[in-house]
Amino acid sequence: MKKYNIAVIGAGAVGIEMLRVLKQRAFPAGSLKVFARSARDINVDGDTYSVEPVSAEGFSGIDIALFAGTEGEKGAAVTYAQEAVKKGAVVIDNGADFRMDPKVPLVVPEVNARDLGPVKKWMHSCRKGGLQGHKGIVANPNCSTIQMVVALNPVHKKYGIRKIIVTTLQASSGAGKAAVEQLNNETAAIAGGNFANIQADRVPRVMPQQLAFNCFPHIGSFTDGGYTNEEWKLVKETHKIMHAPKIRISATTVRVPVKTGHSESVYVETSRALTAEGVRAVLSGSSGIVLADDTENNIYPMPKDAEGRDETFVGRIRRDSFDKRGLWLWVVADNLRKGAATNAVQIAECLISDSR
């Protein structure tokens, strides 16, 4: 089996999860380098990785570069993607910097793996050139978008989706390590009877509001029409991934006191009449989906069950009582795995599939 030289750029939560997923999925890696701002050693599940300072020279000999990305700010890919591509590497970027570039495929393998065609051709033929044309760059979508399109694309192909209304309940880890620490610190303070410390802002806070024992509808920055940029990502990225720009999409994104695992309440309006049973049948045979839909036995998707898993979990499937073209779904996935690291590694698996 051919092996590929891999670089992971970023040693935070997503970067660490990328290392974990590469090993768990037995990706055929030859050499494996880890780059970050500063040198250090990190331990992931008993394996020690030497982190090197990121530099343009470090991408020599690399076949695939997985950029962990940073939501809300310019990621390392802005500086180093061009250098990596010039040296023959394919860049898979988890950040937001290239997602809406029309020359860069935005990919969820279960939905639009075919969009990788130009990148696969570039990878297995010329493998040279800079950022012009972007043939060596693939973008990983936002975590909330990924799980939603995995769940909805089979429904769209069968029934034709005309409208989506989604409310996300997003875990603290989606905002990074500091947000998880805020959740832990606030929870400990409240459990210890020190709620006054939180009210007086004596517990460090990186989020705009208290996170423990609370939820708030504010992820990202507020922008056009009173929506946040996180909400607009769900609109624009879904249109691009599903090649369905006419779907009407409206979103509300909510931060909740959960460590890992995003949940979504999704309502869709379809072109053709549907039944809950028909939708279950469609989803049960779809790649990457686990049905958890047995309300008589209190079985439905929950973040605690999705954590550490690569699948997207779907349940609470029910037709609108007043509209035979309306459908409700409850969708849950691990935002660090399928929402980031696993999806990126799956893209890499698709890129090498013709040569394994």
What residues are labeled active site? Answer: 143, 262
Please report, for residues 145, 156, 266, 293, 321, the alpha-carbon distance to residue 327 in angstroms, rounded to integers and kept in the order given: 18, 12, 8, 14, 9
Read off the tokens for 306: 């999705």
- Are the CB atoms for 237 and 167 separated by under 8 Å? no
Residue type, 139: A
Q: Which residues pair with 36 in a beta bridge?
A: 53
Residue among 77, 94, 80 nearest 18 (CA): 94
DSSP assignment string, 307-349? TT--SEEEEEEEE-TT-TTEEEEEEEE-TTIIIIIHHHHHHHH
The encoded tokens of residue 206 equal 């990186």
Distances (CA, A) of 119 to 92, 112, 239, 294, 300: 11, 13, 21, 41, 38
Strands 326-333 vs 312-319: parallel, antiparallel or unpaired: antiparallel
What stretches of the chain adopt beta strand conformation (E)? 4-9, 29-36, 40-44, 47-53, 64-67, 90-93, 137-139, 161-170, 248-255, 262-270, 289-291, 312-319, 326-333
